Amino acid sequence: MAEDWKKLLSFRCTCCGNCCREPIVLVTDEDIRRVQAHTRQPAHKIVDFYKPSEIAWEKSQPGWIRLKSGRRIMGLKRTEAGCQYLGDDELCTIYEHRPVTCRRYPFDLEMGADGDIELLSISQSVECPYELDGENSLTEIKALADWEEKEEDPYFEKLEGWNKKKPRGGKKKFLKFLGF
């Protein structure tokens, strides 16, 4: 790992809200369960299914769901202002219950085969006007990445099972398949 990664451990979020306004936040069934336990919303009010034209997500990347209406990605439902859980004060209204991706953001990391971090960077998915006068723990960042992987892997396995099904079902059937 290049030495200049260390300066990124001083990252401090300036709470601009860009990352909650602009991108579609991909979620797993476990994310839905956590949000649901707090908001009591039915799953279909928590998530939406986004078309390939709505998200910059390579066809080869995992997460695509084959529905009868076509290929879709499941992400948090949005309003015109961005994520439905973004408050007027630019803060997350479900902070303690937010998806794992939101917790790990904006750190991107790549792990080596030995489990060590090989690359740490700040996500380029949105403009992030951060400052470098904060303090972050590499151990905590890695724990979040591990948590994310632990929930993503079984979700992607479920998707593989669903995507083999014929005839294809719709959104309701997919959420039922996930246990909602």
Question: Three-state SS for 180?
Answer: coil
Q: Quote the least distance from Cβ 161 to ligand SF4, whole Å.
A: 27
Q: How far is CA 98 from the centre of its chain?
A: 9
Q: Please tell me the distance from the alpha carbon of residue 142 to that of residue 90, in angstroms, as a whole number.
A: 26
Which residue of 8, 19, 43, 141 would you call a contact of ligand SF4, by CB under 6 A? 19
In what order do the strands lie in the sheet containing 70-76?
47-50, 70-76, 64-67
Are 45 and 177 in contact by the 8 Å Cβ rule? The answer is no
Tell whether residue 20 is a contact of ligand SF4 (CB under 6 A): yes
**Number of residues in contact with ligand SF4, rule: CB under 6 A?**
23
Q: Which is nearer to ligand SF4, 40 or 166 (CB)?
A: 40
What is the token pair recorded at 173? 């059937």
Tell whether residue 17 is a contact of ligand SF4 (CB under 6 A): yes
Q: Please tell me the distance from the alpha carbon of residue 127 to that of residue 125, in angstroms, as a whole number.
A: 7
Tell whether residue 121 is a contact of ligand SF4 (CB under 6 A): no
Tell whether residue 32 is a contact of ligand SF4 (CB under 6 A): no
Tell whether residue 155 is a contact of ligand SF4 (CB under 6 A): no
Q: Please tell me the distance from the alpha carbon of residue 96 to that of residue 116, in angstroms, as a whole number.
A: 28
Q: Quote the least distance from Cβ 147 to ligand SF4, whole Å.
A: 15
Tell whether residue 25 is a contact of ligand SF4 (CB under 6 A): yes
Q: Which is nearer to ligand SF4, 97 or 173 (CB)?
A: 97
Which residue of 65, 67, 83, 109 would you call a contact of ligand SF4, by CB under 6 A? 83
Q: Please tell me the distance from the alpha carbon of residue 109 to that of residue 123, in angstroms, as a whole number.
A: 9
112: left (phi over 0), alpha (psi -120 to 50) or beta: beta
Where along the sequence are the contacts to ligand SF4 (CB under 6 A)? 13-20, 25, 76, 83, 85-86, 92, 94, 98-99, 102, 106, 126, 128-130
